[in-house]
Amino acid sequence: MNQIVRFTIDGSECMAEKGQYLVDAAKENGIYIPTLCNYTGIKPKGSCRVCTVKVNGRLMTACTTPVSENMDVQNHIPEIDELRKKIIELFFVEGNHFCPACEKGGNCELQALAYRYKIMAPRYPFAFPQREIDATNPKLIKDQNRCILCKRCIRGIQDEKGRTIFAYRKRSSRVEIGIDHKLGKELSDETAMKAMDICPVGALLVREKGFDIPIGERKYDKAPIGSDIEEHNVSSK
Amino acid sequence: MSKPIVATTSLAGCFGCHMSVLDIDERILDLIHLVEFDKSPINDIKHFTRKCDIGLIEGGCCNSENVHVLKDFRENCKILISVGECAIMGGLPAMRNGIPIRECLEEAYLNGPSVKESNQIKIIPNDPELPIMLDKVYPCHEVVKIDYHLPGCPPRADLIWDALVALITGDELKLPYEVIKYD
């Protein structure tokens, strides 16, 4: 039996099933809470912190917080918006995100969030780290320059026997995602494509699939990320 | 009141941002009513003839000459605007930032397939006349204080136009979703 709970997001009344994660509950109520490491259908991890909201005055990640009765959630307030902007800007300076040269441009969730928050330039100095491109796999190219280590590929991609194909390797600031050499070679076209789609940035690319969609017709060219959720709710901004 | 004076330059850029300035189409006729141009590749004025109000910077800093010009702009312009991805984050030239400078020069002058045969005496140009390359390509705001940033590769003509008009008239700059793009 599903129990329905009532809670508020930025003062507007919402209803959801008890125990549902806040991000999904907000979505059903037509409110967009931005996410990056979260992906529908994969267990949430709460690592990127972009979905941070204030729940009863405390900062929580909306992708890992279940809704409960009378929860008071603050989402679109200056403090939270500024916090999210800072996180997004940190992603941009931490890696090498050359948007003009990226195959994922226009379809990239990190870029789309920056557009949504109207970031004109990051406030932090660029790190320009030295990172490699792994082009050993016959189907996929792994560009470590663009990887934000969200683990979406690790968590979301398995072969038909349920074995993971991607894994973390190295440690600390050098940590990166590697493709299993043996399993990677046997990747089906379908799984490779799924891996590229699951990657929020342009760190996983299927060979010969870049720049498929012309500029102007890409996912985030015309409407901001999250606007598909918000269009069901006229009152939200 | 005299018209505001605008200066522009292209540092480590491809002139694409200047092309985007010209891409304002017939509004360029309004622009010449609105502003005067000083040092700029558009009118080919090589040196500042007076203090300017607005400086538009295209491209980041990849060599000593870029730094010199940028500092010159900072001294002579009240407001500096980084125009385009290269000015803001180094852009495509900054893709060399992960490669040591020696390796870059050796590839360009000694080992690259197009120079391997022709550069028999193994010369890397180092004439004192030539600007010295920096260890990496720097965004403009990491060299001097930059007042505003207009992203894009190139920034959409509408963004450049709207930003200039807003700056000159003092009106609020409206930023529709379509004008902020990084590519």
ipTM of the complex: 0.92
DSSP B60: B
Is residue A101 within 8 A of residue B92, CB to CB? The reply is yes
Residue at B124 is within a domain: no
Q: What is the pLDDT of residue A237?
A: 44
Q: What pTM was estimated for this model as a whole?
A: 0.94
Across B140-154, b (16+ Cβ under 10 Å) vs e yields bbebbebebbbbbbb
Residue at B165 is within a domain: yes
- What are the sequence ranges of the domains in chain A? 8-76, 86-206
Place of tokens 């292209």: B10
Tell me the pLDDT tens digit for each residue of B116-169. Answer: 889 889 999 999 999 999 999 999 999 999 999 999 999 999 999 999 999 999
Structural domain range at position B57: 5-96+135-179
The second-level CATH assignment, the architecture, of A8-76 is Roll (3.10)
| A114 contacts B182? CB cut-off 8 A | yes
Residue B1 has pLDDT above 80, yes or no: no
Give, in order, the Cα–Cα distances in Å from A129 to each of B12, B91, B97, B99, B141: 20, 15, 8, 10, 19
Domains identified in chain B, total number: 1
CATH number for the domain that contains residue B47: 3.40.50.700
Fold exhibited by the domain A86-206: Alpha-Beta Plaits (3.30.70)
Measure CB to CB from residue B151 to each of A105, A121, A128 and give the nearest one: A121
Is residue A63 within 8 A of residue A44, CB to CB? The reply is yes
Residue at B65 is within a domain: yes
Residue at B110 is within a domain: no
Chain A hits for B80, Cβ within 8 Å: none
Residue at B117 is within a domain: no
Measure CB to CB from residue B149 to each of A102, A121, A129 and give the nearest one: A121
Residue at B125 is within a domain: no
Average pLDDT of the residues of chain A: 94
Q: A234: burial class by Cβ within 10 Å (0-12, 13-18, 19+)?
A: exposed
Is residue B55 within 8 A of residue B9, CB to CB? The reply is yes
Q: Does A66 touch chain B (CB under 8 A)?
A: no
Q: What is the pLDDT of residue A235?
A: 52
Distance CA A223, CA B176 (A): 10
